[in-house]
Structure 1
Amino acid sequence: ASPLRMSESEIGEPATPDEIENVVTVPFVAPINGWVPDESLPCYGLPGAISPLGFFDPLGFTKDMELRGVKRFREAEIMHGRVAMMATIGYIIGEMTPNINDG
């Protein structure tokens, strides 16, 4: 008998859809360097409030978004920023080596 295996009496019947309750869970976020997330903000759980300005979203992109959508926007912003940095390096290399296009 394996200690990981459950006995027959511990295995219950599968729940029917009527017995399952929809429970909304709020992510728990531990304080970061004394910063505690504000549940009233649209990006609850993400650090980013600046001391003199507060929560920075001048165009209101995150006004009606959930945390998952805001994380997706942040990830896309990082990805596009990296692509822009690589393009800048390519432009500089092209300008510094004028004979590269002469063939």
Structure 2
Amino acid sequence: METRESLGLLSAHLEQLLQRHGVLGSQGQIEPAKADELSAELRHRLYGLLENMAELKGLIEVGRDARRGKALSPAVMNAAQVMMEEVCRALEGQKAKQ
């Protein structure tokens, strides 16, 4: 599967997980109450992966850009895919690959 396509699918999955955790609204926007701070549970799950909400917003935007077909370098797509896999795994409560 092409990197852009797999990144697009993975980013859609990430957004679904974030909606389940109440971070994203039904229209895909960051919920105002969550805009500045992640909950303690999410901070714990994402510890070591994301420093702050700005990094999460950036990851979401890269995924959306991939789905829209915007120009992204292979390095950005590969890095975003690795990060999204780890964030999704953390949100699902699974252990990271060894």
Q: Same fold (TM over 0.5)?
A: no
TM-score, normalised to structure 1, is 0.23
- Asked which structure has the greater RCO (Cα within 8 Å, sep 6+), the reply is 2
TM-score, normalised to structure 2, is 0.24
Task: Look at both structures and tell me which one has the larger radius of gyration over its CA atoms.
Answer: 1
- Normalized per residue, the structure richer in helix is 2
